[in-house]
Structure 1
């Protein structure tokens, strides 16, 4: 069981650490809001989506997704469309600074949830990584070991997204002028567009 927990910890951390659209979006919302609890919709949504993907991967859905090319094509097209749209919205977003140097709220809870779902469930690269890597790795475990492996992967996701939100808030406090957040918005948009281009090249190749 210990081996399964360690394996799940290392694997989940390795998949979630790279700077991707999902991480950038969660961090950005943590930085854009005046209070941490206002960024909870995106943190909780992203965590639930990862929990769903990991659970489905372990349950064997990976076999279905990886087998049918048309399903991967649908995921790619939907993912590319959302990334282009979100990149446009993020690029145009502005951080306004008032008299006491506090930034205004960026996205409403509804938009946070909608966008978090799109970058989590409509990101083919993330979906295939989770399903392909975690789903395949879980095949070596059964019973309590498989449960321990799965719960560890899920726990890492929840801790990581909460940490991103906190990290964003800390950055916002240090950035009294709001300029850093404006730059981060531009970087976020570029990451989203870059991911869309990468996915598009994968699709056409």
Structure 2
């Protein structure tokens, strides 16, 4: 049981560590200290639901819904393109560092809607959590321990990223660092959007 849990944990970490739209959003919210707990919780719970879908047999159902995946692909690409454009605009217009950005610019509801969009509109998330983790879990007899390990990885990662981001706040007091982050986020969003359309 313990070895199966650790396998799920390590595989979960390996899939989630790559920088993506969701991770960039959590990092930015952590730097701004805006609704960090709720953002981390929504991301981790979303991953947990998708992981459980995959591990407990929903991968085969999802693989049959080709039309739904295509629709999500285009919605996801459009969403990421618009958010990336917004990041480029912020990088171009902003002349202030993190200190000027401390006041919340979005309500909790708006932030959670963005968070849910990053979590559910990206087909890559389904491929990683539902299809890949679901297919790998088939080789383990204790699926509950495997799923628990993968879910633990999501909770540990998102909460560490969200609340650990504050350690970088002195760096992002510099306007150039904040511009650079917005620019990098814009590039990441557009790269993921383009990969969805290929």
TM-score (structure 1 length as normaliser): 0.86
1:157-172 → structure 2 map (5 Å cutoff):
157-172=154-169
**Contact residue 43 and residue 161 of structure 1 kept, 8 A:** yes
Residue 63 of structure 1 and its aligned partner are, at CA, apart by 0.6
Distance in 1, matches of 2:40 and 2:95, equals 20
Residue 96 of structure 1 and its aligned partner are, at CA, apart by 4.1
Residue 106 of structure 1 and its aligned partner are, at CA, apart by 4.5
Match of 1:70 among 67, 70, 80: 67
**Contact residue 29 and residue 39 of structure 1 kept, 8 A:** yes
**Contact residue 58 and residue 130 of structure 2 kept, 8 A:** yes
**Contact residue 41 and residue 112 of structure 1 kept, 8 A:** no
Residue 97 of structure 1 and its aligned partner are, at CA, apart by 4.6
Match of 1:55 among 36, 52, 55: 52
Structure with more contact order per residue of length (Cα contacts < 8 Å, sep ≥ 6): 2
Residue 95 of structure 1 and its aligned partner are, at CA, apart by 7.2
Q: 1:173 to 1:108 in 2, by over 3 A?
A: farther
- Count how many residue pairs are aligned between Structure 1 and Structure 2: 194
**Contact residue 29 and residue 106 of structure 1 kept, 8 A:** no
- Matched residue SS, 1:175: helix
The yes-or-no answer on 1:150 pairing with 2:135 is no
Q: Tell me which residue corresponds to 1:126.
A: 125
Residue 111 of structure 1 and its aligned partner are, at CA, apart by 2.2
Match of 2:40 among 17, 39, 43: 43
**Contact residue 97 and residue 176 of structure 2 kept, 8 A:** no
- Matched residue SS, 1:63: helix
Q: 1:2 to 1:97 in 2, by over 3 A?
A: closer
Q: 1:180 to 1:74 in 2, by over 3 A?
A: same
Distance in 1, matches of 2:72 and 2:95, equals 32
Alpha-carbon RMSD across the aligned residues, in angstroms, is: 2.0
**Contact residue 97 and residue 103 of structure 1 kept, 8 A:** yes
Q: 1:95 to 1:74 in 2, by over 3 A?
A: farther
Distance in 2, matches of 1:78 and 1:65, equals 17
List runs of 5+ in structure 2 lacking aligned partners: none
Poorly superposed stretches of 4+, deviation over 6 Å: none
List runs of 5+ in structure 1 lacking aligned partners: none
Residue 90 of structure 1 and its aligned partner are, at CA, apart by 2.6
TM-score (structure 2 length as normaliser): 0.89
